[in-house]
Structure 1
Amino acid sequence: MKNVSIPRNEYPRPQLVRKNWLNLNGEWQFAFDDENIGVKEKWFQIVHPFKQKIIVPFAYQTKLSGINDPSFHDHVWYRREFTVPKEWSGQKIILHFGAVDYRAWVYVNGQYAGYHEGGHVSFSFDITELLTWETETIVVRVEDPSRDETIPRGKQFWFEKSDSIWYTRTTGIWQTVWLEPVSSTNISKLRLTPDIDRGDIIVEFEVKGNYLNKKVEIEIGFKGEKVVLDTIEIFEAYNKRSINLYNRQIFRTSFHHVGWNWAPESPNLFDIKITLKDDQEVFDEIDSYFGMRKIHIENGMVYLNNKPYYQKLVLDQGYWPDGLLTAPTDEDLKKDIELALEMGFNGCRKHQKVEDPRFFYWADKLGFLVWGECPASPSYSEDAASRLTKEWIEIIERDYNHPSIVAWVPLNESWGVPFIKFNKQQQHHSLAMYHLIHSLDPTRLVISNDGWELTVTDICAIHNYNHGSSDEKEKYEAFKESLATKENLLRSKPANRGIYADGFEHNGEPILLTEFGGIGFKVGENNGWGYTSVKDEQEFIADYRRVMEAVYASQALHGYCYTQLTDVEQEINGLLTYHREPKCELEKIREINEMWHPNVVKF
């Protein structure tokens, strides 16, 4: 079903695609509820005069929403009418939300449909029994506590005005809202796990509804050629099948010689179609894809597909001047990756944000490594620990199938665990997150506390912005020396914090410099800050080269993540402006990035 006249009209769930769907983005009625009286007055039932209009999926704080109000409003309401296509009759109708920050209560035709807490991942409700099959009304109540420091908020500041590294908040709906029809017997989950050592793709799925006497047909294709056509008889709700790809005719003579694994240099993807049916009827049909990719650590290095791989990442906040957390268009998500590749980076650390699945889709397609991260809570409490845990479970369930994601970062710079250096409870929280994520996802690396005060971790991730300006020779030499050897790196205290928390130590894991740089360069009228500053393009390129020379001189670093891709609000330390305009010839950045450990990605 085509959706061409509304914002963000692309299919929102690229890893599980069905033919029929209805996009509910666009103009909704909207109201602030600053006195929090909407529930008492039953705004979800009566025709309360919602006096404002908002363009979904943009938060009210953004220009693209049509409201553009950055002030605190902790309770807001949405309403819109819609009509379900008549041809969907007889099927279950599922209402999907890409993300709503932070708590959402959903009502359909005045009746309660469901509740979700967590501002960063998708959720859905079966609304079939609430429909009239005439004109339907959906109402969403949102609560987003602006000053609560125990909810995962990342870079969203708990004061009204942005400052330092903190940005404007996002409240309410900020990803696509949509409907889809499904049969009462349908495929409810799909999990695809590659095993390149055996040449297997492990397909796991759940069947909801009456699965007796049903079968699933799995069709796998590679570059337009059919590789697999397999049929599974269904005897229970949960099903698992390991399918070998090596012994297929298409690969019998070529797989050893022609690369078909997924990597930035060769982002090969397999198409997979899964059809649930019996002898008379098709109940469900979904399209997806996967990449044969392996990431692991060995001998103090990161290995990609069983070969040492030097990661050249860029820190990416995922903010836009007119949409904040929401990219104005799908093309904007793609463009950010293309610009990073053009500069010679082979991936990004998506910082303090759970990104739109469409970003991961383009990373999969274009060949771009991603470290996934969840926004942190500023303060620690048992509630904060519980909330972060819940979000991580949902993140991994949603994003597990994307081959581009190679690492998870549950904690950053001791945010939300300020006493982790010595506090056993906070150390246990870090350990719990590390082991929880590995228990849910054994295919990726986990960095326990990116920056410093690490506990058990797969990568020793260090942040160091102490490179100094070009005339601070002594400071620069100290920076260079601190990176030079493993011993120096592990002894360093770049933010007056030890690299490992008390009771923990380096156990041979790869060492990466995962935040550094942040050279401030003002382009245009916006004032702001960087960790150091330059005056013009020539100085900018020279300073970037100077910082990178210190990194590449290290005998111990196995990769880096430069801060950062773009300016954001008051930060002017990006390689690009906030509007994605290059601050210099991007080829110059690429040349510097490829001076050592040449990157063979061709843009």
Structure 2
Amino acid sequence: MKRSFFISVFFFAFLSLHAQNAWKRVPGTIATPWADSVDPKHVLDTYPRPQLQREQWTNLNGLWDYAILPKTAEQNIPATYQGQLLVPFAVESSLSGAGKTVGKDSILWYHTVLQLTNPKNKQRTLLHFGAVDWQATIYVNGKEVGSHEGGYDPFTVDISSALIKGSKQELAVRVWDPSDDGPQPRGKQVKKPAGIWYTPVTGIWQTVWLETVPETYITALRSTPDLDKATVTINAAIETLQPGDQLLVSAWNNKEKIAEYTGSETNITLHIPDPKTWSPDHPFLYDLQVSILRKSKLIDQVKGYFAMRKISIAPDSHGIQKMMLNNKFCFQYGPLDQGWWPDGLYTAPTDAALKYDLLQTKAMGFNMIRKHVKVEPARWYYYCDQLGILVWQDMPSGDLGNHWENRPGVLGRATDKDRTPESIAIYHREWNHIMDALYPFPCIVVWVPFNEAWGQFNTVEIAKETMQKDPSRLVNSASGGNFYTVGHIIDLHNYPDPAMPRPDVFGSRQALVLGEFGGLGLPMEGHTWQSSKNWGYQSFKNREELFQRYLTLTDKLQELIRAGLSAAVYTQTTDVEIEVNGFMTYDRKVLKMPLQRLHEVNTALYKIHE
């Protein structure tokens, strides 16, 4: 008996070691410093949902079987697989260990075995996906348990009914992603990368995890602060709430309880005495705890946080609308952040890597980031909340093809795209899901439904719907796109030098912002995606030459701020594939400008007033 046990343990240890040794990063591309620390046994194993935390969870990231099959083939779960890849890195990435393309004519299948027993006492087993691009169908023990369309929003499947006796449960995931051959949001992914367009991302690209919850459980929390009234409204979404159940909601300043509610309401307003405001200089977060009680017995409990901050626009002494933070003018300045990685594509190699970009952004003296046509994992926004970084959140673009006119000081021609009913439905569904998922993060202060007329359609309708869905934030209806007098912001793009919309034309109606400028390029040998033909809006020979040119841009920004500019976005945080206009190289190993001097010139912009 002991010998048999020893053999079994040895055998499984051997398989585990073999699997780990079998995986390796696909060679041929540059890599970040974190690539070598990726461990197939411990992949992105930090808690993935900071705004709805429970104590117990199981990380399913790791080596899964995969197969790429023709879309025309029989659609049954495959009996055999072609190899293993490392979840949650997209199959095209080097960190997946596969480095394969898929495309619209193929299906990507995943398979893994879960060590999981069916919970008792009517508990539910929830399978969570951070993001899967684009269309996913989930099977447990051969039974279809759910499906989802949308490459950027998290989704959950209750798999309780499909679990079988014993601890071995089989999970399969079918994924189809047409990339730029389909009408769905896909950001900058294209099947033939070139210029400002990048490698496709297919399949699972955020954490997959399991959670066991009671039959009655909290599914979502959203907090809405009202700084002027010193209140925060907490909305709790609850599955199968029973008559007589009570909610216990409490707000905490560190270890001090400052507000509490007990009752049957699921939409609760708490008074916050002498509120501490959240800002880039002082990013104070209050802790939040929500419990469900049944006859004084604890049924479910989650933890989160909120911030007391207000984003608005108001006229200055010249009648020009300005972007206000906590009722004061705050010039917002930051990089265009695309969130791409040479080794993980959409997915940072580690949690430390994910946070690194934000720490560097803060160290460079920026107080804002425009998250460009991509959505990040929840932990990215959590770190922005902690560090005090304002976020403009773009909707990932898709279904491109309409005309773009961007002229300083005048309205661009209204050339909204005539999308199909299918395309329109996909956009509405995914934008709503993205906004719902990101609503709890106080760092987000601006929603951006469109970028540069990339698939821009029904602009007035979309902007008004966005404003109605979330009145607590500002809406930038079309960043650098075809402009309409709708939303809170008018946003001009101009490369490389700064420019702004005319204050005398637009200033009384909307805040004036420069949504993109800069793009100064410097390829660094040994740190580029390809060895030649790299690209920037304007190229330089060395770092000092680059920085001196950057100073001319910030000098111009000072003039524009005095003329009424509320915000500016420099392109960009890092190089991306053949673009070499980042502050950092794509592998994050070189900062191209002197950090301290960069911090000084950037932070000087916040001291300028009209």
TM-score by length of 2: 0.85
Aligned 8 A contact 1:221 1:271 in 2: yes
User: Does 1:242 find its partner at 2:269?
Assistant: yes
User: Does 1:543 find its partner at 2:543?
Assistant: no
User: Does 1:572 find its partner at 2:603?
Assistant: no
1:230 positional shift: 2.3
1:485 positional shift: 5.7
Q: 2:386 aligns with which of 345, 357, 365?
A: 365
1:203 positional shift: 1.1
What do you get for the CA RMSD once the two structures are aligned? 1.9
Name the structure 2 match of 1:31: 67
Name the structure 2 match of 1:529: 535
Q: 2:237 aligns with which of 199, 206, 228?
A: 206
Give the whole-Å Cα distance in 2 for the aligned partners of 1:401 and 1:484: 32
* Secondary structure of residue in 1 paired with 2:604: coil
Give the whole-Å Cα distance in 2 for the aligned partners of 1:178 and 1:7: 12
Pair 147,345 (structure 1): closer, same or farther in 2 beyond 3 Å: closer
Name the structure 1 match of 2:521: 520
1:366 positional shift: 0.8
Q: Which shows bigger deviation, 565-574 or 224-233?
A: 224-233
Q: Deviations over 1:156-200 (max 9, x none)?
A: 01x33x211100010000001111111111122222111111111
User: Does 1:122 find its partner at 2:157?
Assistant: no
Give the whole-Å Cα distance in 2 for the aligned partners of 1:375 and 1:556: 29
Give the whole-Å Cα distance in 1 for the aligned partners of 2:368 and 2:134: 29
Pair 485,440 (structure 1): closer, same or farther in 2 beyond 3 Å: closer
User: Does 1:109 find its partner at 2:141?
Assistant: yes
1:508 positional shift: 2.2
User: Does 1:146 find its partner at 2:146?
Assistant: no
1:150 positional shift: 1.3
Superposed, 1:437-516 pairs within 5 Å as 437-455=466-484, 456-467=486-497, 483=500, 486-487=503-504, 507-516=508-517
Name the aligned partner's letter for residue 297 of structure 1.
I
Give the whole-Å Cα distance in 2 for the aligned partners of 1:224 and 1:278: 26
1:142 positional shift: 0.4
* Secondary structure of residue in 1 paired with 2:606: coil
Q: Deviations over 1:203-262 (max 9, x none)?
A: 11132214212111112111222212321135xxxx21111112xxxx4xxx5xxxx111
Give the whole-Å Cα distance in 2 for the aligned partners of 1:136 and 1:461: 51
* Secondary structure of residue in 2 paired with 1:385: helix
Give the whole-Å Cα distance in 1 for the aligned partners of 2:88 and 2:177: 16
Q: Which shows bigger deviation, 590-599 or 283-292?
A: 590-599
Aligned 8 A contact 1:464 1:515 in 2: yes
1:59 positional shift: 0.5
Aligned 8 A contact 1:88 1:181 in 2: no
1:574 positional shift: 0.3
* Secondary structure of residue in 2 paired with 1:595: helix
Give the whole-Å Cα distance in 1 for the aligned partners of 2:72 and 2:120: 37
Give the whole-Å Cα distance in 1 for the aligned partners of 2:280 and 2:40: 32
Name the structure 2 match of 1:22: 58
* Secondary structure of residue in 2 paired with 1:193: strand
Give the whole-Å Cα distance in 1 for the aligned partners of 2:74 and 2:153: 25
Pair 49,71 (structure 1): closer, same or farther in 2 beyond 3 Å: closer
Q: Deviations over 1:340-361 (max 9, x none)?
A: 1111100100001011111000
Name the aligned partner's letter for residue 544 of structure 1.
Y
Pair 302,289 (structure 1): closer, same or farther in 2 beyond 3 Å: same
Aligned 8 A contact 1:70 1:168 in 2: no
Name the structure 1 match of 2:46: 10
TM-score by length of 1: 0.86
What is the aligned-residue identity percentage?
A: 36
1:385 positional shift: 2.0
Give the whole-Å Cα distance in 1 for the aligned partners of 2:356 and 2:164: 42
Name the structure 1 match of 2:426: 387
Give the whole-Å Cα distance in 1 for the aligned partners of 2:148 and 2:102: 24
* Secondary structure of residue in 1 paired with 2:179: coil
Aligned 8 A contact 2:226 2:310 in 1: yes
Q: Which shows bigger deviation, 263-272 or 126-135?
A: 126-135
Structure 1's unaligned 5+ residue stretches are 418-425, 468-478, 491-504
Superposed, 1:283-294 pairs within 5 Å as 283-294=299-310
1:551 positional shift: 1.9
User: Does 1:558 find its partner at 2:566?
Assistant: yes
Aligned 8 A contact 1:483 1:551 in 2: no
Superposed, 1:115-194 pairs within 5 Å as 115-134=147-166, 135-157=168-190, 159-160=191-192, 162-194=193-225
Give the whole-Å Cα distance in 2 for the aligned partners of 1:483 and 1:432: 25
* Secondary structure of residue in 2 paired with 1:64: coil
Give the whole-Å Cα distance in 2 for the aligned partners of 1:146 and 1:341: 33
Pair 595,202 (structure 1): closer, same or farther in 2 beyond 3 Å: closer
Pair 321,97 (structure 1): closer, same or farther in 2 beyond 3 Å: same
Aligned 8 A contact 2:496 2:538 in 1: no
1:579 positional shift: 1.4
Q: Deviations over 1:533-583 (max 9, x none)?
A: 110011011010012212222213122011101000000000110112211
Pair 97,596 (structure 1): closer, same or farther in 2 beyond 3 Å: closer
Name the structure 2 match of 1:594: 603
Q: 1:278 aligns with which of 265, 276, 294?
A: 294
Give the whole-Å Cα distance in 1 for the aligned partners of 2:501 and 2:223: 40
Structure 2's unaligned 5+ residue stretches are 1-38, 316-320, 402-416
Aligned 8 A contact 2:496 2:520 in 1: no
1:594 positional shift: 2.7
Moved over 4 A (4+): 85-89, 482-485
Q: 2:351 aligns with which of 311, 321, 330?
A: 330
